[in-house]
Chains A and B, each alone.
Chain A
Amino acid sequence: MVHIDADIRIISRIISETVKGIKRTQWMNLVIITTMAAILSIFGCLFRTSLVISSFIEHLGDSMEVSVYLKSGYNAEKAKLEILKTGDVNEIKIIHKEKAWSELKQEMNVPDIKNPLPDTLRLKIKEQKKIESVIHMVKNMKSVENIQYAKDIVEKIIKVGNVTNVATVIVLLILGGLTLSIINNTIHLVIQSRSEEIEIMRMMGIGNWYIRAPYILQGAFYGFCGSLLAIVPLRILESYLFSMTEFFNMGETPNYLNLVITSLMLMGVIVGSLGSYISVRKYLRI
Chain B
Amino acid sequence: MIRFRNVIKVYGTQRALDCVNLHIKVGEFVFLTGTSGAGKSTIMRLTYREEKPTRGQVVIGGVDVAKLPHNKVPYLRRRMGIVFQDFKLLSKQNVFDNVAFVIRALGMSDREINRRVSGALKVVRLYDRLDAFPSQLSGGEQQRVGIARAIVNGPPLLIADEPTGNLDPQTSMEIMEILEQINNRGTTVLLATHDKEMVNHFKKRVITVEDGKVIRDIYEGTYE
Instruction: Give residues in A with beta carbon < 8 Å to B.
Output: 5-7, 9-10, 13, 24, 196-197, 199-208, 210, 286
Q: Is the CB of A204 within 8 A of B82?
A: yes
Which among B84, B89, B102, B108 is the interface contact of A205 at CB below 8 angstroms? B102
- Between A9, A13, A201, A205, the greatest number of chain B beta carbons within 10 A of the residue's beta carbon is seen for A205
The 8 closest A-B pairs by CB, nearest first: A205-B77, A6-B107, A205-B78, A10-B107, A206-B105, A205-B74, A210-B105, A204-B102
Q: CB of B176 within 8 A of chain A?
A: no
Q: Is the CB of B107 within 8 A of A206?
A: no
- Between A24, A197, A202, A204, the greatest number of chain B beta carbons within 10 A of the residue's beta carbon is seen for A204
A177, B102: Cα distance in complex, Å: 37
Residues of A contacting B107 in the complex (Cβ-Cβ under 8 angstroms): 5-7, 9-10, 13
A-B pair number, CB within 8 angstroms: 58
Residues of A contacting B11 in the complex (Cβ-Cβ under 8 angstroms): none
A6, B104: Cα distance in complex, Å: 10
Q: Is the CB of A9 within 8 A of B109?
A: yes
Residues of B contacting A199 in the complex (Cβ-Cβ under 8 angstroms): 88
Q: Is the CB of A200 within 8 A of B76?
A: no
A9, B110: Cα distance in complex, Å: 9
Known: A6-B106, A13-B105. 14 other contacts (CB 8 A): A9-B108, A10-B105, A10-B106, A196-B88, A200-B89, A200-B90, A202-B77, A203-B48, A203-B77, A204-B149, A205-B78, A205-B153, A206-B74, A208-B74
Instruction: Give residues in B with beta carbon < 8 Å to A.
Output: 48, 50, 70-71, 73-80, 82, 84, 88-90, 92, 101-102, 104-109, 149, 153
Query: What distance in Å separates the Cβ of B11 from its nearest Cβ neighbour in chain A?
Result: 18
Residues of B contacting A197 in the complex (Cβ-Cβ under 8 angstroms): 90
Q: Is the CB of B90 within 8 A of A208?
A: no
Residues of B contacting A202 in the complex (Cβ-Cβ under 8 angstroms): 74, 77
Residues of A contacting B48 in the complex (Cβ-Cβ under 8 angstroms): 203
Residues of A contacting B101 in the complex (Cβ-Cβ under 8 angstroms): 201, 204, 206
A91, B109: Cα distance in complex, Å: 70
Residues of B contacting A205 in the complex (Cβ-Cβ under 8 angstroms): 73-80, 102, 153
Q: Is the CB of B77 within 8 A of A286?
A: no
A200, B102: Cα distance in complex, Å: 10
Cross-chain pairs A/B with CB under 8 angstroms, 10 sampled? A6-B108, A196-B88, A197-B90, A200-B88, A201-B101, A202-B74, A203-B48, A205-B153, A208-B71, A286-B70
Query: What distance in Å separates the Cβ of A216 from its nearest Cβ neighbour in chain B?
Result: 16
A226, B126: Cα distance in complex, Å: 45
Residues of B contacting A201 in the complex (Cβ-Cβ under 8 angstroms): 101, 105
Q: Is the CB of A5 within 8 A of B109?
A: yes
Query: What distance in Å separates the Cβ of B191 from its nearest Cβ neighbour in chain A?
Result: 17
A6, B109: Cα distance in complex, Å: 7
